[in-house]
């Protein structure tokens, strides 16, 4: 098992990461106002949201640099949630139709 | 090694800071499920607006975007506080902790303002299933932010009174994990609840 290996980011890195997050947030808002992107706006928003989520968890929460046990504990919830609630949405949204 | 970070148990030695982090990650994993259930409920009821207003009529995306930006930047100040604590620069750490708390309070003020506007426009927690699921989800997140602000202020206060010693520096990291989690939950809420509904 590989444990803590890499050096953590520097303050300059954190500011750059925050800048990237701010730019993605701006892009998210912008695409909702562009009519031409209506057909792809949902996947675009999900992709950008997932990117922000991954950046914050990886760099600000240091999960990228931490011991594997922390990542696995968090992944349990992260994997279980879409499976569990995807089943709920499918059941009530498609099967029951309400 | 500091006695604050070690505890004897059954003849073995456990790193308390490691156990605290394990406990926090387990807690955050369970919180993912909690917020997952609330977001799922919102998605199921988002179109059931009854006689009340719907998302497109009441959501003010520019305003909520600014709130989201503020919460996102509070993650930057939080990670800077953690970085200062790891360098044992307590003065800088206090500045960043208080900045994070202040940004959290600004976000909460925005949420209170937004809720007030929605109520004036006819959307309350009892108006429709959409209103109920919206207020429960965002209200629950707001309560988490409020708890986070209290944790930040308590940590800063402990530092001012000299109770945040080397062995307790982990507290800043634990508070930081909680704060960043509150931020990532909002990243999802902002996209799924606000941007995808207008």
ipTM of the modeled complex: 0.85
The answer to whether residue A3 sits within a structural domain is no
The answer to whether residue A4 sits within a structural domain is no
Decide the pairing of beta strands B12-15 and B6-9: antiparallel
CATH of domain B6-197: 1.20.120.80
Are B191 and A28 within 8 A, CB to CB? yes
Nearest partner of B96 among B109, B79, B110, judged by Cα: B79
Separation of alpha carbons A90 and B37, rounded Å: 14
- Enumerate residues 6+ apart whose C-beta is below 8 A from B46: B55, B130, B133, B197
Best probe of the B interface among A41, A65, A70, by most B CBs < 10 A, is A70
State whether the Cα torsion B1-B6-B12-B18 is positive or negative.
negative
Is A33 in the same domain as A56?
yes
Which whole number is the average pLDDT over A56-65?
A: 90
Which whole number is the average pLDDT over B58-82?
A: 95
How far is the alpha carbon of A1 from chain B, nearest alpha carbon, in Å?
A: 16
Is A20 in the same domain as A45?
yes
Domain tally for chain A? 2
pLDDT at A97: 64
Q: What tens digit of pLDDT does each residue of B10-44 get?
A: 444 457 778 888 899 999 989 999 999 999 999 99
Which residues on A lie below 8 Å from B21 (Cβ)? Answer: 70
Q: What tens digit of pLDDT does each residue of A12-56 get?
A: 999 999 999 999 999 999 999 998 888 899 999 999 999 999 999
* pTM, full prediction: 0.88
pLDDT at B88: 85
For chain B, domain boundaries: 6-197
Rg (CA), chain A: 18
Q: What is the extent of the structural domain holding A22? A: 9-66
Is A30 in the same domain as A73?
no
pLDDT at B170: 58
């Amino acid at each position: 098992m590989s444990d803590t290996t890499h050096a953590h980011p520097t303050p300059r890195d954190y500011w750059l990461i925050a800048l990237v997050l701010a730019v993605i947030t701006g892009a998210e808002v912008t695409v909702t106002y562009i009519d031409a992107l209506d057909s792809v706006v949902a996947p675009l928003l999900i992709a950008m949201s997932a990117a922000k989520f991954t950046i914050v968890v990886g760099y600000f929460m240091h999960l990228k640099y931490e011991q594997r046990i922390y990542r696995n504990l968090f992944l349990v919830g992260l994997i279980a949630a879409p499976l569990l609630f995807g089943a709920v949405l499918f059941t009530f949204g498609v099967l029951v139709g309400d | 090694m500091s006695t604050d970070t070690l505890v004897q148990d059954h003849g073995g030695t456990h790193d308390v800071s490691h156990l605290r982090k394990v406990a926090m990650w387990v807690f955050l994993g369970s919180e993912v499920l909690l917020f997952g259930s609330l977001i799922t409920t919102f998605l199921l009821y988002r179109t059931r607006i009854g006689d009340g207003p719907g998302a497109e009529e009441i959501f003010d995306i520019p305003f909520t975007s600014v709130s989201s930006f503020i919460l996102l930047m509070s993650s930057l100040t939080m990670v800077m506080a953690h970085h200062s604590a790891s360098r044992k620069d307590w003065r800088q750490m206090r500045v960043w902790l208080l900045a994070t708390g202040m940004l959290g309070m600004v976000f909460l003020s925005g949420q209170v303002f937004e809720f007030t506007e929605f109520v004036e426009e006819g959307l309350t927690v009892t108006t429709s299933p959409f209103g109920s699921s919206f207020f429960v989800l965002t209200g629950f997140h707001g309560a988490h932010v409020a708890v986070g602000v209290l944790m930040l202020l308590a940590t800063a206060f402990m530092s001012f009174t000299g109770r945040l010693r080397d062995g307790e520096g982990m507290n800043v990291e634990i508070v930081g994990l909680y704060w960043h989690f509150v931020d990532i939950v909002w990243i999802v809420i902002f996209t799924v609840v606000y941007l995808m509904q207008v």
